[in-house]
Every structure is written in structure tokens, then in C-alpha cells.
Amino acid sequence: MTTGERLDDIEAALEGARSEGLRIIEAAADLGSLAEARTRALGRKAPLARARSGLGGITDPTDRKKLGQLANAVGDELEAALTSKRGGFERAELDARWERERVDVTLPGDAPPVGSLHPLTKTAWEIVDIFIGLGYRVAEGPEIELAKYNFEALNFPEHHPSLSPQETFYIEGHGDEVVLRTHTSPVQIRVMESQAPPVYVVIPGRTYRRDVMDATHLSAFFQLEGLAVDEGITMGDLKGSLGTFAREIFGRDLDVRLRPHYFPFTEPSAELDVQCFVCRGSGCRVCKGEGWIEVLGCGMVHPFLLEWVGYDAARYSGFAFGMGVERIAALAHGVTDIRSFYDNDVRFLAQFATGGGGP
Ligand code: PHE
């Protein structure tokens, strides 16, 4: 073999190594087989390495340099082919992963059930709001109350049946001096004791009586009291204010009436009726044929109370009222058994939910 033939052979072998290597690399199907392809195209036993080994036998430096450069170029080309192939595989794998882990952030989530205010809370707030609009503020007092405030200061005679332990819960260990308040009226006294007139307050709160529970009675219930004391307050103010309240709650075009009644702490005393909002006076099941629905107890503040707290009863007068929140809520929503408000049956309560998807 002449030197020229050997040169041609080596050159052909290098070109063969190039095309063989490129073929091997091209044939790799994934990152794993690409590693194998690298060994087969660029490893110690690869065609390129074998062709390179022939270079040692070339004595002419120019020829050797030329073929050496060719060998390097082939090596670089195969290296570049491997790199680009790997890049393709890595991109494909990343694309697949994006696809696998894709999250559609626009899909609606699983909404957790959201609660809502209890219908009694809503009713109380609604009533409070009406009176706030009339210039009243909110006051509160203790549920465990001195009998002195619950009865005595409110002009209950000593032997009034309400004082009986059959009617009122007495707190053990305190004789007959401490009770669970039977109404929110003792807070009238507490408010008046704490400030000079004028007084305009509404007093929401829990109250207790030894009542047997039925559709209209509970032993723990929710009252809302009101008290207005100022110079020159008359029964006309009482009727006007409570009429405004009743029409706000039950219907703007309904009539109201005052029916004489008795409470020790008001004189005169009355019950406020509103025209039946179902039959408008002709008589139906809701008003039990009466045409009118009893809404609350009220009256002009008895001077006994004003004197008890040290107000000038000749200068000041006032009116007071008290209502059962369960009763107002039941009437306003057509609930026939007030015990439903305390059963905590979500199916019942959810009917009163407004705004933001209730349970
Ligand atoms: N405290 C009375 C009751 O519990 C209601 C009431 C309050 C009546 C204020 C008149 C004035 O029934």
C-alpha cells in the first residue's frame, strides 16, 4: 500500500466514522440509549477511535495535521450531534412533565360550606338597627342578676307570683337575692343608674324563666328591651316610635293598636298589636282569627323607677318596651314552633341565609 492509499484509507475511515456516528446518535430513542450511543460513536472502540489510531503511522507532518484536524472535526461534530439530541430529549421530557402536572387555575374550586348569621341574631340586629336609626344606643346587662334589679327596683310587690321559685331560677347559695334574669327590664335600672337623662337605649339579651317548653315558650329565650327617658315624653311618642318599628318589621302599610295591659314597672301599660300581615284584619290561622297579632309589652315608665334611680320624676318621663326576639322572628318568617330556632338543624337555618352561599 502506498502512502497515498493509506492517507485515502484513513480519510475514508474518518468519513465513515462520521456518518456511522451520526447514524448511531440519530437512532437513539431516549436519554438512556443516547448514553449508549455516545460510547458507540465516541468511545475507545468506536470507528472514530479506530480511524484515529491509523494517524500515528503517518510520517508527513502536513498530512498528519490535515487528517488530525479532520478527526477533531468529526469528533466535534459527533459531540455537537449528541448535545443537540440530548437537548431535544430534555425539552421533550419537560414538555411531557408540564402536560402531566398542568393545573387549570381557572377551574372552580370545591367551595367549603359557609355559615351565616343565626336567624335570631339577624332579627335582633334588624330591630336594633331600626332603633339606632331613631337615635337609640345599645346597652347590655348581666344574665345573672340581683333580685333587687330584676324585681324590687321595677316595682314588683314582694308577693308577686313572678318571684316564686316555680317561675324564676334562683342561684344556689344566695338565698333569694340572685336570679337568672326573667326579662331585660333590670337593665333599664342599671342604665339609668349609670347616667343622667336623656336616655335612649335598646337592650338585647338572654333571659330565663321556669316555663315548660312548647311551641311558644322556652326556658331560655331572647328579649329586646327599649327605654326612652327625656323631658316631655308622652304616650304619643311611645305609639309613634313603636308603630314605626312594627311597620319596618312587618309591613309599611299595617295599622298598630295599643291594648291596655299591666306591668308593675309601667303605668299605664299596654300591649302593642300589629294588624295581621297575612289577612290584614279579617282573621286567619296566623292571627288565630283575631285580625291582630300581639308584638310586645310596653308602657310609660312608672315614676317609682325614676325615683329609685334618683331622676326627677316631676321633670322627666319616659316609655319602655320589651319583646321576645323568637316571637318576632317566628312571626316575620312564618315559623310555627320557636323551638326550631334552637334545634340547630342546618336545613332549617339555611333557609334564612342570605348572601355568600350558605350551607
Ligand atoms: N319586661 C316585660 C316582659 O318581660 C316586657 C316589658 C318591658 C313591658 C318594658 C313593658 C316595658 O314581659
How large is the average pLDDT for residues 195-217?
Answer: 95
> Is residue 122 scored above 90 in pLDDT?
yes
> Does residue 307 sit within a domain?
yes
Strands (E) across the chain are located at 137-138, 144-146, 178-180, 199-208, 220-231, 256-263, 266-275, 292-301, 316-324
Stated as kind and residue range, the H or E segment containing 249 is helix 235-250
Check residue 109 and give its pLDDT: 86
Does any domain span residue 108? no
Please tell me the distance between residue 354's alpha carbon and the centre of ligand 1 in angstroms: 31
pLDDT value of position 17:
87
Verify whether ligand 1 is closer than 6 Å to residue 320 (CB atom). yes
Query: Residue 107 falls within a domain, yes or no?
Result: no
Sign of CA dihedral 309, 311, 312, 314: negative
The average pLDDT across 228-250 equals 95
Same domain, 68 and 170: no
Residues 83 and 138 in one domain: no
Q: Which pLDDT band, with edges at 50, 70 and 90, does 146 fall under?
A: very high
- Range(s) of the domain holding residue 279: 119-352
Rounded Cα–Cα distance for residues 184 and 128 (Å): 14
Instruction: Report pLDDT for 8.
Output: 84
Q: Is the pLDDT of residue 5 over 90?
A: no
pLDDT of residue 357: 37
Is residue 112 a part of any domain in this protein?
no
Q: 71, 101, 131 — which closes off a domain?
A: 101
Q: Which of 151, 191, 261, 265 to mutate to test the pocket of ligand 1 (most atoms within 8 A of CB)?
A: 265
**CA torsion angle for 5, 8, 14, 19 (degrees, to 10)?**
-120
What integer pLDDT is reported at residue 2 of this predicted model?
59
In the predicted structure, residue 287 carries a pLDDT above the cut 60:
yes
Domain assignment of residue 201, yes or no: yes
Based on the fold, state whether residues 209 and 247 are members of the same structural domain. yes
Residues 30 and 92 in one domain: yes
Residue 155 has pLDDT above 60, yes or no: yes
Rounded to whole angstroms, the Cα distance separating 297 from 62 reads 122
The pairing of beta strand 199-208 with beta strand 137-138: parallel
Q: Are residues 155 and 244 in the same domain?
A: yes
Assess whether 78 and 206 both reside in one domain: no
Is residue 202 domain-shared with residue 308, that is, in the same domain?
A: yes
For the Cβ of 183 lying below 6 angstroms from any atom of ligand 1, the answer is yes
Same domain, 141 and 48: no
Whether residue 154 is found in the same domain as residue 268: yes
Shared domain for 141 and 277, answered yes or no, is yes
Nearest CA to ligand 1 atom 6: 322
Of 36, 67, 101, the one marking the end of a domain is 101
pLDDT at 359: 31
pTM exceeds 0.95 for this model: no
Q: How many domains does the chain have?
A: 2
Atom of ligand 1 nearest to the CA of 319: 11
